[in-house]
Structure 1
């Protein structure tokens, strides 16, 4: 009986911890974006371009879900004015435009904050065993996958 109640408490706590983590992650990203002079959506667009590579505006709209009323074009315009992305003609098809992150400019502007957070995380991660690290990696990978699936489900409506 004690195991069940302990497990139930820990499952409830896990839900609370995940909600808190997700809320703080969104608020953190918004604070970083504002500090860096862009909005939260634009920062995520730049982040996706850095992580997943260059894309056409249409591909980027799919990645982000920014499809209504030229929202992706507006985001790209703002990021280009800030120097965080560039638009170039696709050498294989001159009709297509490819948007590429300017990683150096992005890191120059935001690296201070992400570097500081990275150092703090690395200091904590250094205290974990290999098994704990593997578990943490699996947990966050699964959380990201659940979020990705739910984003797709919401967009399909």
Structure 2
């Protein structure tokens, strides 16, 4: 049976509201986690990118985070190194390059329990869903992340 157009429009409007709420809550959650871990949100995101995408040169990390102005990335790396979240080492293949690497033990000690608790709560909820619902949710969130990445890049170019 086809969905009534007014019901569909209302559902689409609600999706916009839900996504705005989700994104706001995600940003606020990440900020709270960062503060709990003794760093700021930007620095926490830099650590997260190093954890998920691997070690990087300062220039590569600047590109990943969008912190390309002046010495902004150097200040981030300095703060993270002081807090024990990252190490800076010379590249063994090219001594002129510096490689920044996340310290997983520090990340896990300082904020791991928070993410573990949230992960456990999500796992509990996901157990109530069908395989098809989980696949749809994965697709929806992956597409939302891709759209956010694309729009972030467009804003940086503007």
**TM-score, with structure 2 as normaliser:** 0.97
Distance 1:7 1:79, change over 3 A: same
Rounded Cα–Cα distance in structure 2 between residues aligned with 1:6 and 1:123? 31
Which secondary structure does the structure 1 equivalent of 2:67 belong to? Answer: coil
Q: Is the helix fraction higher in 1 or 2?
A: 1
What displacement does 1:36 show?
1.1
Report Cα offsets for 1:43-96 as digits up to 9, x if no partner: 000000000000000000000001112110000000000111000100110000
Rounded Cα–Cα distance in structure 2 between residues aligned with 1:126 and 1:91? 46
Residue equivalent to 1:77? 78
Residue equivalent to 1:120? 121
Residue equivalent to 1:94? 95
**TM-score, with structure 1 as normaliser:** 0.98
Q: What stretches of structure 1 of length at least 5 have no aligned partner?
A: none
Rounded Cα–Cα distance in structure 2 between residues aligned with 1:60 and 1:111? 22
Asked if 1:154 is matched to 2:152, the reply is no
Residue equivalent to 2:45? 44
Q: Across the two proteins, how many residue pairs are aligned to each other? A: 157
